[in-house]
Structure 1
Amino acid sequence: MQMHRALSLGLAVILTPAALPASGQSSAFPNRGVTLIVPFAPGATTDVLGRLIAQKLSEAWGQPVVVENRTGASGTIGLAAVAKAPADGYTLGMMIVSNATHAAMYGAKSPIDLIKDFAPVTHAASQPYLLFVNASLPVRSVRDLVALARARPGELTYGSSGVGSVLHLAGELLAAQAKVKLTHVPYKGAAPALSDVAGGHIAMLFTTRVTAQSLLASGKVRALAVTSSERVAGIPDVPTVRESGVTGPFEVNGWYGLSTAAGAPAPVVERLSAEINRVLKLPDVRDRMQASGTLTVGSTPAQFGELLRNEIQKWRRIIEQAGISPGTR
């Protein structure tokens, strides 16, 4: 009897979840519903991508993957919910480049730390920006624009979607690399800023091709360059900023990624990364995102973690060089 009890206790210890091998943890995941938090409003690219990923994962797993839109504070409210969730991989969050610029701007004042509070899962997609100018501005290239800015220091204005936004910092990066003085005019979104570029109220704006599509087709704005490191399929005649004569590194992309709470089991994070990367390679997902000017990517957790660190460092350097703070214009 005692021998039977001892064997039973030993078997119970062996079969506890903590004693299972790492492969056992990942193969059992998920055994219930998963939540994907999108920290921005429904309908935006982040939401569209998140819902596509959620749908495909749900179909593959046979478990619900529920998308929750938790907006506010430049995405901080939604991501804070991810950071505070149990570290089991069952709560995911969408991250975008503006989360990195917000982290660079606010530093320790931010309620979340993108590096310490999250376990990166994958770099899901990338969306380059283009530099658009008013069609009547006497420039045909970035080289022409730089020459004009040097001849009229401080007179050329550029819009953005707000102080500290990636569109603002892209302008500061251009000014720093080209060694020119540009004047920033913040707006409550890229659309009204682009409208003022077309109307001749400001000279230029960095924004996405989709945002500017109708005004570009009507000839009211002109695309000078793309902010990615390479030319983009679909607009092969538009050169990169660096090709156009700006010395030094210049790459600005509107990236999208997924993370979960820090401390999530590594096998679970690896499984999430592999599954999401598989989804990103599906032709219908790839084609749907390409239609909005977004390229699906996919990466390892380590690669996405490195991207996060590099982006925060890059934008913090630009913010410090330009003397930008939340109260500046």
Structure 2
Amino acid sequence: MTPTFRHALGALAFTLGLACAASPALAAYPDHSLQLIVPYAPGGTTDLMARIVAPKLGEVLGQTVVVVNKPGAGGALGSAFAAREPADGYTLVMAVESSHAVNPAVHEKSSYDPVKDFAPISNLANVMGVLDVRGDSNLKTFKDLVDALKAKPGRYAFGSSGSGGYSHLFGERFLSSTGTKMLHVPYKGLGPALVDLMAGQVEVVFDNLPSSAGFLASGKLRALAVASPQRVKSLPDVPTYAELGYPQLNTPSWFGLAAPKGTPAPILDKLNGAIKQVLSEPAVIAAIEQQGAVPDYTSREQFAAVIAHSYEVWQKVVNDIGFEKL
């Protein structure tokens, strides 16, 4: 037996030994509770989606999935935290367009890479956007808002989930598209921004429909436009941005699930299969649709492509609108 052959056999035995040692752990996964990091405050769309999916995901996996909110910096704090957690399948993170495409695109030195630092699992839902004002605002239509902004540049303010987040950059894109100006007021999530909108501290919030739906239904908020392929059933009188002449603003956003990079493929496959089962449950489908969103299961590879493509798109948007990176 040549030294080279003996070396090859030794390497093979070592590899098989590792596989055998790892197999029991993988087979037993999960054997304790998981944490699902939501990089935004309670009450926003990301939080709502997580809390719809987490209980059923826990049932499928046979362990509790605990939702943990870690808001701040437009989703960057929680996302960076998740990226540094052990890649053992016990930490998951809501990977959404705001935190995994927009935020890194607007920061000169992001604390995480949305493509390299995470292992995508699956998309969960595509969510329609909505332009909110107070229910008793004198701004009754989209035209009213644009006219008011042009008449008094900088007089009005819009709230967002944080500097560099989706709602922030969407607002900047709105201002660029309409040729208007507003003051930006960042919050630690869209939940707090909506509270201040209803309190009159800001005049506009560019939200996702799920977190605004209840307030719109009660009349506390009024929608002036929606980002949707067609009008939303629950808001039949509200035009889409495309109808209003701004097709570039008419794209729904995605909300998915990821794990830290390096999480073993068998665990990722098991999680992806669990999500597929969760998103086939009628109660989950109904809950997501009730929030004005559309369930959207994808393979791991498909979701990875979605994240990479969106990141490229938002980098281009940042350059095109002349947004000064943070």
TM-score bin (small chain): 0.7 to 0.9
Q: CA deviation at 1:212?
A: 4.5
- Call closer, same or farther: CA 1:71–1:176 in 2, change over 3 Å: same
SS at match of 2:92: strand
Percent of residue pairs bearing the same amino acid type: 32
Matched residue, 1:315: 314
Question: Could you tell me whether the CA contact under 8 Å between 2:122 and 2:256 is conserved in 1?
Answer: yes
Matched residue, 1:131: 131
Question: Could you tell me whether the CA contact under 8 Å between 1:132 and 1:205 is conserved in 2?
Answer: yes
In the aligned structure 2, how far is the partner of 1:215 from the partner of 1:25? 49
Question: Could you tell me whether the CA contact under 8 Å between 2:130 and 2:208 is conserved in 1?
Answer: yes
In the aligned structure 2, how far is the partner of 1:131 from the partner of 1:160? 11
Matches within 5 A, 1:54-65: 54-62=54-62, 64-65=63-64
- Call closer, same or farther: CA 1:259–1:145 in 2, change over 3 Å: same
The question of 1:37 aligning with 2:5 is answered no
Unpaired runs of 5+ residues, structure 2, are 1-8
The question of 1:304 aligning with 2:303 is answered yes
SS at match of 1:176: helix
Bigger Rg over Cα: 1
- Call closer, same or farther: CA 1:193–1:250 in 2, change over 3 Å: same
Question: Could you tell me whether the CA contact under 8 Å between 1:25 and 1:267 is conserved in 2?
Answer: no
Question: Could you tell me whether the CA contact under 8 Å between 1:69 and 1:78 is conserved in 2?
Answer: no
In the aligned structure 2, how far is the partner of 1:309 from the partner of 1:325? 19
Matched residue, 1:246: 246
Q: CA deviation at 1:114?
A: 1.3
- Call closer, same or farther: CA 1:245–1:158 in 2, change over 3 Å: farther
Question: Could you tell me whether the CA contact under 8 Å between 2:159 and 2:204 is conserved in 1?
Answer: no
Matched residue, 2:280: 281
In the aligned structure 2, how far is the partner of 1:119 from the partner of 1:316? 21
Matched residue, 1:157: 156
Q: CA deviation at 1:256?
A: 2.1
State the TM-score, normalizing by the size of structure 2: 0.75
Unpaired runs of 5+ residues, structure 1, are 1-8
Question: Could you tell me whether the CA contact under 8 Å between 1:70 and 1:77 is conserved in 2?
Answer: no
Question: Could you tell me whether the CA contact under 8 Å between 1:85 and 1:261 is conserved in 2?
Answer: yes
Question: Could you tell me whether the CA contact under 8 Å between 1:33 and 1:66 is conserved in 2?
Answer: no
C-alpha RMSD over aligned residues = 3.9
In the aligned structure 2, how far is the partner of 1:65 from the partner of 1:195? 31
The CA deviation string for residues 7-27 of structure 1, in whole angstroms up to 9 with x for no partner, is xx99x959946567xxx8999
Matched residue, 1:235: 235
Q: CA deviation at 1:128?
A: 1.9
Matched residue, 2:6: none
Matched residue, 2:224: 224
SS at match of 1:28: helix
The question of 1:114 aligning with 2:125 is answered no
In the aligned structure 1, how far is the partner of 2:143 from the partner of 2:184? 22
Question: Could you tell me whether the CA contact under 8 Å between 1:83 and 1:262 is conserved in 2?
Answer: yes
SS at match of 1:236: coil
The CA deviation string for residues 212-259 of structure 1, in whole angstroms up to 9 with x for no partner, is 456645656532211233332322332211122225463242x32111
- Call closer, same or farther: CA 1:87–1:242 in 2, change over 3 Å: same
- Call closer, same or farther: CA 1:13–1:57 in 2, change over 3 Å: farther
Question: Could you tell me whether the CA contact under 8 Å between 1:121 and 1:304 is conserved in 2?
Answer: yes
- Call closer, same or farther: CA 1:262–1:29 in 2, change over 3 Å: farther
Question: Could you tell me whether the CA contact under 8 Å between 1:82 and 1:261 is conserved in 2?
Answer: yes
In the aligned structure 2, how far is the partner of 1:136 from the partner of 1:78? 34
